[in-house]
Amino acid sequence: MKHKKLIFAIIAAICTLAIGIGSTIAYFASVSGPVKNTFTVGDVALTLTETTGEEYRMIPGTAIKKDPLVTVVGGSEECYVYVKLDRANGLDDYVTYALADGWTLLGGFDGVYYRMVEHSAVDKHYTVLQNDEMLIRSNLTKEKMAAIDAAALPQMKITAYAIQTLGIESASDGWYNLLAKYGE
């Protein structure tokens, strides 16, 4: 019986010790408050507008008002913005023009110009042509003008593109990515 009391006392001591150690460990436990992350969506958006019409009369030595305007929509990520000027049916034989300040010719690509635009909460507007005009060459003769094929009149098509700069190493790389996406 003495032996049973001793075993019982040892078991009681072990249980007391275990409870004491367990509560000591619980005393040093801790938990942080939660960290909540919200992920918003980034985007790049632009528009190309023009108010001066779609058809223009060529009169030697005159200026034609032409006001293509690229707008990078507010909230867009930092991006490369490109304009591609497709000239058809001998347009350059009849007119001259210059790009507005800030556009850089993209080496190796005919008629492709670019600029880098920083992130902004508000719309950013960029004119394409200097002074919003094209000049009709003054050395055009009546004979040269009469020789224009009515079925193939000189034309210019302007298209604007944008691509985020993040992850793009250069303006050329950005253009190659756009070509892969849009197949131009």
- At 125-179, the pLDDT tens digits run 999 999 999 999 999 888 988 888 888 899 999 999 999 999 999 999 999 999 9
**Nearest-CA neighbor of 167 among 80, 103, 52?**
80
How far apart are alpha carbons 52 and 37 in whole angstroms? 48
Name the amino acid, one letter, at 41.
V
- Under a CB-based contact definition with an 8 Å cutoff, are residues 50 and 66 in contact? yes
C-alpha 74: how far from chain center:
11
Give me the residues of the chain with pLDDT under 50, please. Answer: none
| pLDDT at 91 (0 to 100) | 93
The predicted model scores a pTM of 0.79
For residue 133, give both structure tokens.
């005009």
**C-alpha–C-alpha distance, residues 150 and 84, integer Å:** 25
Class at the top of the CATH hierarchy for domain 46-182: mainly beta
Q: Which amino acid is at 131?
A: N
The answer for 183, left when phi > 0, alpha when psi is -120 to 50, beta otherwise, is: left
